[in-house]
Amino acid sequence: MASTRRHFLQGTALGAAALPGGLAQVTGKSPNDHIQFATIGIGGMGTGDTESAMRVPGSKLVGVCDIYQGRLDRAKEVYGSGLYTTRDYREILSRKDIDYVIISTPDHLHAPLSIAAMEAGKDVYVQKPMVQKWEDGLKVVEAARKTGRVIQVGSQRVSSVVYQKARQLLQSGAIGELNMVEAWWDRNSAIGAWQYSIPLDATPANIDWDRFIGGAPKREFDPIRLFRWRNYQDYGTGVAGDLFVHLFSGMHFVTGALGPNRVFASGGLRFWKDGRDVPDVLLGLYDYEKTPAHPAFNLALRVNFVNGGGETSGFKFTGSDGVMTIGNGVTLSRLPKEKNPGTSAGGFDRATQALILAENRKKYPPQKTDLENGEPLANERWLAPRGYSDQDEHHANFAAAVRAHKPVTEDAVFGLRAAGPALLSNLSYYSRQTMAWDPINMRVKA
């Protein structure tokens, strides 16, 4: 099997614009002109987002908000004792020196905080899924339209040079006509299954419990529900909102798809029976109708938190002429074109068989097989540059858009079109019904 390995050039159309060295070229402003931001919700993902944002030249962290005092104390340990900290996000939004906010809170707070931030004149980087309920997505879209603020959702694959290359290959017809996409994200660890540590000082004195609850159902103080919020429908969106949404985002970027018209999901709670009320195994099937961007195709998604083989994730795009897979790079595999389709004459009488075989030999004269000719399978692989981070690039893209006040790829509309089918996967799972989705108007169909 022939195989070629290539590294992406950092000067690709997307990469050059997003990498720190290309920032001034895109915006026309010097990276030394600071844009200032604050992070609302500085847990694990919030910290990662903050670190990526700080690596963008010209970006400065000026404030942090969290409802747990221990995280505010930690932020000052890491970023300096002069850092402004608060438990009340409204204090962040009232500051005139903040250009944008990173919202890395539990899912149920994404929509209200994003809308409040845009109405306060701030640009927004909000973690995926953009909303906990699809109906709230329309409110976020409207707030972005009304305020004119830049909002970007934190599914970094849409900024990745890996996915850009996959998109280019698919659009060039490298695998022929697309007919099916498969994607998966499996794990087999306690942390991967959201068994996060509970701090010993998690007490009502150190936690603003009511602010955490927000619009969720009222409950008595329970630090497990706070620090492991992804395990509960009240605050999270399960594996569909946490991981399916990444897969939808990446696939929509590659194919240009707006979303499926039919959704069905199945699964169950198979192993992590720790009080959570969301499944740890989820399978989804989706129908995508033909559009000007792509032919009709089917999508199959899987997340398994009980995968004994360890963590693995990827994509497989199947077409009429080949297969494209995405992992830490892009691999393209194509079989040689079929030269003789053969016959199915075995069920006929001998005379008819002879006539069919003679006609086949006439049309396709006997020749050596591909293996005898030494013709290899076409197999090419592209890899990102060593040390490349699509999350850093996603933040750099966002910072460039904030500077120039220009649209981003993963705006509120894109974010809802990725979140919508993920959230419908949950609705399908719990109702045991197939759901109908309108990907253009971004709403459930009756």
Q: Which domains, and CATH codes, for the chain?
A: 12-158 (3.40.50.720)
- In 3D space, the residue among 59, 60, 55, 83 whose CA is nearest the CA of residue 71 turns out to be 83
Q: Which residues pair with 103 in a beta bridge?
A: 40, 126
Q: State residue 29's pLDDT score.
A: 42
Return the H-helix or E-strand segment holding 23: helix 23-27
Q: State residue 346's pLDDT score.
A: 83
Strand arrangement of the beta sheet that strand 4-7 belongs to: 4-7, 378-383, 329-334, 323-326, 312-319, 178-186, 297-304, 281-288, 262-268, 435-438, 443-444
Its sign, for the CA torsion 198, 308, 182, 327, is positive
Pairing of strands 84-86, 59-65: parallel
Return the H-helix or E-strand segment holding 237: none
Q: State residue 367's pLDDT score.
A: 67
- What does the block give as tokens for 440? 């253009």
381-392, pLDDT tens digit by residue? 999 999 999 999
DSSP-derived 3-state class of residue 170: helix
Between vectors from CA 98 to CA 93 and to CA 103, what angle results, nearest 5°?
60
Regions of the chain where pLDDT drops below 50: 1-3, 9-32, 370-376
Q: State residue 42's pLDDT score.
A: 97
Distance of CA 344 to the CA centre of its chain: 46
Pairing of strands 59-65, 378-383: unpaired
Q: How far apart are CA 48 and CA 52, in angstroms?
A: 6
- What does the block give as tokens for 50? 């903050």
Q: State residue 5's pLDDT score.
A: 57
- In 3D space, the residue among 414, 138, 412, 59 whose CA is nearest the CA of residue 250 turns out to be 414
Q: Which residues contact 31 (CB under 8 A, 6 or more apart)?
A: 20, 23, 24, 56, 57, 58
Q: State residue 378's pLDDT score.
A: 58
Q: How far apart are CA 87 and CA 82, in angstroms?
A: 16
Q: State residue 361's pLDDT score.
A: 85
DSSP-derived 3-state class of residue 438: strand
